C-alpha cells in the first residue's frame, strides 16, 4: 500500500485522543518492579555514573519499550517475573543509545531538558552509555535463556548498524525511500520488535506467536519513527521533547524530505540540496522547508504511511484473544500516531 492509496488505516479521533493510560494501568505493578531493577543496576561506586544515567532515566520518558515487554507478557497471560529484569535490560539498551545519539547529533535538548553531553561532556556520556549497555547484558545473562540473549544482542547490533547507516546517509540528498526505511527499521524498530518478542520466549510460546509479537513491535516502531520525522517539521519543542527542526539542521534525510525533494521543481530541489548540505539552516530556511513539505503533501503522506504501519501492527495482534491487554496494545499504536496532532 502506498502512502496515498486507500485501505484500512489507524483512525485518529481528535476529540477523544488515544492515550497510554490503558497500557500504563495494565503494567503498573510490573513497572514498579522494573523501575526498582533500573535504579538498582544503574548504581556504581563511581558517583558520576548514577548521576548522569539518572539525569536521562528520570527525564520524563514514558518507558514505552519496557511497557511493551510487560504488556505482551500480559497478553500471553505469563504468570512469572522473568520479564521484569528483561524489560529493564531493554530500557538500558534504549537509554544507552540515546546517550550515544545525543553525542553523535550534538543535541542540546531531550524531553525538554539539557542533554547529558551538554552538562557532563561527550566523553562521559559515551562511557556511561557503555556502562548501561554492559548492565543490560548482565541482566540478559542472569535470565539464563540463550534465545533471549540472542534476540536482544542481535537487536543491539542492528541498532548500532542503523545509527552508522544514518550517519553515512547524513547530508546526502540522494538517499532514497528504501534506504530510509532500512535505517529506521534498524535504529528504532529493531528494539520495539525485540522488546515484544522476548515476552513470548519467557512465556514459552511457539514461533508463530513470537513472530506475531515481533511484527507488532516492528511495525509500531516504524510508525513511531515516521511520526517523529513528520513532527520534527510540523510541531514545537514541547511536543517533540527536543528542539524543533533538529533533523533539518543536522542534514538528516527523512521521508518528508525525500518526498518533497522528489515532488519539487528545479528551484525547490536546489533549496533542498543546499539545506541538506548545511548551507541553509536559519529559522527562515526552516520555515521555507516546512512550507514546501506542506505544499507537496510530504508531511500528510508521511503520516498516512505511519497509519499504514500502525494498522500492520494492530493486524499482527489478530491471533491473540481479545481482552484488556490486546486493547491496551492497540491503543498504544493509536497513541504513537496521534502524537502528531
39 occurs within a structural domain? yes
pLDDT at 154: 98
145 φ/ψ angles, rounded to the nearest 5 degrees: -95, 120
Q: Are 221 and 191 in contact (CB under 8 A)?
A: yes
- Residue 282, sorted as left (phi over 0), alpha (psi -120 to 50) or beta, turns out to be beta
Report pTM: 0.92
Q: Are 37 and 69 in contact (CB under 8 A)?
A: no
Going residue by residue through the chain (341 aa), what tens digit of pLDDT does each one get? 333 333 344 444 445 689 999 999 999 999 999 999 999 999 999 999 999 999 988 876 789 999 999 999 999 999 999 999 999 999 999 999 999 999 998 888 887 789 999 999 999 999 999 999 999 999 999 999 999 999 999 999 999 999 999 999 999 999 999 999 999 999 999 999 999 999 999 999 999 999 999 999 999 999 999 999 999 887 655 444 556 788 999 999 999 999 999 999 999 999 999 999 999 999 999 999 999 999 999 999 999 999 999 999 999 999 999 999 999 999 999 999 998 66
Per residue, the 3-state secondary structure of 182-220, as one string, reads HHHHHHHHHHHHHHHHHHHHHCCCCHHHHHHHHHHHHHH
pLDDT at 236: 58
106 occurs within a structural domain? yes
181 φ/ψ angles, rounded to the nearest 5 degrees: -65, -35
- Grid look-up 508521511 returns 302
For the domain that residue 327 is a member of, what is the CATH number?
1.10.600.10
64 occurs within a structural domain? yes
- Grid look-up 553523535 returns 104
109 φ/ψ angles, rounded to the nearest 5 degrees: -135, 140
pLDDT at 3: 35
Question: Cβ-count burial of 74 within 10 angstroms (0-12 exposed, 13-18 middle, 19+ buried)?
Answer: buried
2 occurs within a structural domain? no
> Number of folded domains in the chain?
1
6 occurs within a structural domain? no
Q: What are the distances in angstroms from CA 9 to CA 6, 52, 269, 306?
A: 9, 41, 31, 9
**CA-to-CA distance for 128 and 97, rounded, in angstroms?**
11
pLDDT tens profile 175-231: 999 999 999 999 999 999 999 999 999 999 999 999 999 999 999 999 999 999 999
Domain hosting 137: range is 21-338
pLDDT tens profile 285-301: 999 999 999 999 999 99
68 occurs within a structural domain? yes
**CA-to-CA distance for 90 and 77, rounded, in angstroms?**
20
Question: Cβ-count burial of 13 within 10 angstroms (0-12 exposed, 13-18 middle, 19+ buried)?
Answer: exposed
292 occurs within a structural domain? yes
222 occurs within a structural domain? yes
Q: How many other C-beta atoms are found inside a 10 Å radius of the C-beta of residue 81?
A: 11
182: cell is 532500512
- Grid look-up 521555507 returns 288
Q: Are 254 and 234 in contact (CB under 8 A)?
A: no
**CA-to-CA distance for 329 and 341, rounded, in angstroms?**
20
pLDDT at 340: 66
- DSSP lists the bridge partners of residue 109 as 114
Amino acid at each position: 500500500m502506498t502512502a496515498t492509496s486507500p485501505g484500512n488505516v489507524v483512525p485518529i479521533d481528535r476529540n477523544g485522543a488515544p492515550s497510554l493510560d490503558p497500557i500504563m494501568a495494565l503494567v503498573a505493578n510490573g513497572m514498579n518492579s522494573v523501575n526498582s531493577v533500573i535504579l538498582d543496576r544503574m548504581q556504581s561506586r563511581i558517583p558520576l555514573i548514577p548521576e548522569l544515567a539518572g539525569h536521562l532515566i528520570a527525564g520524563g520518558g514514558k518507558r514505552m519499550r519496557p511497557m511493551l515487554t510487560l504488556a505482551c507478557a500480559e497478553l500471553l497471560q505469563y504468570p512469572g517475573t522473568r520479564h521484569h529484569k528483561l524489560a529493564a535490560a531493554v530500557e538500558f539498551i534504549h537509554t544507552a543509545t540515546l546517550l550515544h545519539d545525543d553525542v553523535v547529533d550534538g543535541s542540546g535538548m531531550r524531553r525538554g531538558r539539557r542533554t547529558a553531553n551538554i552538562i557532563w561532556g561527550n566523553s562521559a556520556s559515551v562511557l556511561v552509555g557503555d556502562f548501561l549497555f554492559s548492565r543490560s547484558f548482565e541482566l540478559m545473562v542472569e535470565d539464563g535463556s540463550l534465545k533471549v540473549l540472542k534476540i536482544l544482542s542481535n537487536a543491539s547490533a542492528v541498532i548500532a548498524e542503523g545509527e552508522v547507516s544514518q550517519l553515512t546517509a547524513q547530508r546526502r540528498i540522494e538517499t532514497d525511500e528504501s534506504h530510509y526505511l532500512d535505517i529506521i527499521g534498524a535504529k528504532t524498530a529493531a528494539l520495539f520488535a525485540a522488546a515484544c518478542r522476548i515476552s513470548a520466549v519467557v512465556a514459552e510460546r511457539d514461533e508463530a506467536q513470537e513472530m506475531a509479537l515481533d511484527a507488532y513491535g516492528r511495525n509500531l516502531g516504524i510508525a513511531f519513527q515516521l511520526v517523529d520525522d513528520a513532527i520534527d517539521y510540523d510541531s514545537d519543542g514541547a511536543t517533540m521533547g527536543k528542539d524543533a527542526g533538529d533533523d533539518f539542521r543536522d542534514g538528516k534525510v527523512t521521508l518528508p524530505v525525500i518526498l518533497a525533494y522528489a515532488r519539487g521543481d528545479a528551484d525547490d530541489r536546489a533549496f533542498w540540496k543546499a539545506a541538506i548540505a548545511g548551507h541553509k539552516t536559519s529559522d527562515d530556511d526552516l520555515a521555507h522547508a516546512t512550507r514546501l513539505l506542506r505544499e507537496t503533501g510530504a508531511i500528510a503522506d508521511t503520516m498516512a504511511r505511519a497509519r499504514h504501519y500502525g494498522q500492520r501492527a494492530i493486524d499482527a495482534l489478530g491471533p491473540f484473544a481479545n481482552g484488556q491487554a490486546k486493547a491496551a496494545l492497540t491503543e498504544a499504536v493509536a497513541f504513537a500516531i496521534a502524537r502528531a496532532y
